[in-house]
Structure formats: structure tokens, C-alpha cells
């Protein structure tokens, strides 16, 4: 069961490692990212950023979906991370048990080759394709919100898109 699926450009960093892992109180983190799953340097960096005592799985998006749907992990709370909306959408469309999707930090470091970006919030700068994926995400039966740190209020992504 996914306690939270967080979309964050940087995957694991200080806020995630020190604040969110304590807030969500999950035994482990699952990074669902094709690049990380195939890049030893990225894997090393993510392992170094993982808090002591937390388990870390780094999987491709498709393999992460298999992990989330595995009956053995049905009762295990997991904190899932991906770095783009399209990957989160794929996970959300293929995994039933997700408590919430936190669209935290997206697009600030993105490749600008896709053209103009749309600023949806102070930490959300989306390409056309990511914006469409975000709209699709809000149509699913799971809460989709932005909350950079737990002390911030949750802001509905649907309300942000209406502005």
C-alpha cells in the first residue's frame, strides 16, 4: 500500500529524507524511475541520501508497479517517489491502494526542449505533456494535492489548475 506517491524532481533529498520519512512513518522508500533503475551513479547517490534504518528499492516504473501490486506487500506501507507526472499517472492507473499523490516539486530542472512551460504553482513548472498528465491524474479516484513539507497545508491540484 502506498502511503504517499510523491512527485519530486530530486527524488530523495533533505526534505524527503529527514521530514517526509518521519511524517509518513513507512519502513521503506520505493523510487520508481527508469533512469535511476539503470544508472549505478544515481543509485549510489539515492542510497547515500536514504535515512539510516529505512529500506530503499530503486525500480523502473513498470517494476515498481509490480512491487506495489505484489500480494506480499499488501499490508506494508510504502513511500513512493517519482520525478515526473507521467510516471505518477502510470503508477496511479495501475495500482489501486494509494492514499494520496503529492505533486511537490516538478519541472524546475526539466529539459526545456519540450517548449514553453506552464507554472501551476511556485514549485510546479510543467511542459504541455506533463500538464495533460496532471489533468488526467486529477480524474482518478485518489487525492491529488501539493504539500511541499508536512507543515504546509495540502492544496488541491484541481483548485490550482482552475486558476
Active site residues: 13
Return all residues near 141 (Cβ < 8 A) that are at least 6 apart. none
* Grid cell listed for 114: 519540450
Give the bridge partners for 80, in sequence order. Answer: 5, 30
- 92 CB contacts (<8 Å, ≥6 apart)? 5, 98, 101, 137, 140, 142
Amino acid at each position: 500500500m502506498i502511503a504517499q506517491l510523491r512527485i519530486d524532481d530530486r527524488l530523495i533529498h533533505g526534505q524527503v529524507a529527514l521530514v517526509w520519512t518521519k511524517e509518513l512513518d513507512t519502513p521503506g522508500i520505493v523510487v520508481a524511475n527508469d533512469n535511476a533503475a539503470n544508472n549505478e551513479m544515481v543509485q549510489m547517490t539515492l542510497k547515500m541520501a536514504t535515512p539510516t534504518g529505512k529500506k530503499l528499492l530503486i525500480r523502473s516504473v513498470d517494476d515498481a508497479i509490480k512491487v506495489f501490486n505484489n500480494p506480499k506487500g499488501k499490508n506494508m506501507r510504502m513511500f513512493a517517489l517519482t520525478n515526473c507526472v507521467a510516471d505518477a499517472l502510470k503508477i496511479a492507473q495501475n495500482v489501486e491502494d494509494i492514499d494520496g499523490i503529492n505533486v511537490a516539486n516538478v519541472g524546475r530542472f526539466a529539459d526545456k526542449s519540450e517548449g514553453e512551460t506552464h507554472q501551476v504553482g511556485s514549485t510546479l513548472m510543467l511542459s504541455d505533456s506533463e500538464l495533460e498528465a496532471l489533468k488526467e491524474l486529477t480524474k482518478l479516484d485518489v487525492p491529488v494535492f501539493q504539500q511541499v513539507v508536512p507543515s504546509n497545508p495540502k492544496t488541491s491540484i484541481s483548485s490550482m489548475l482552475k486558476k
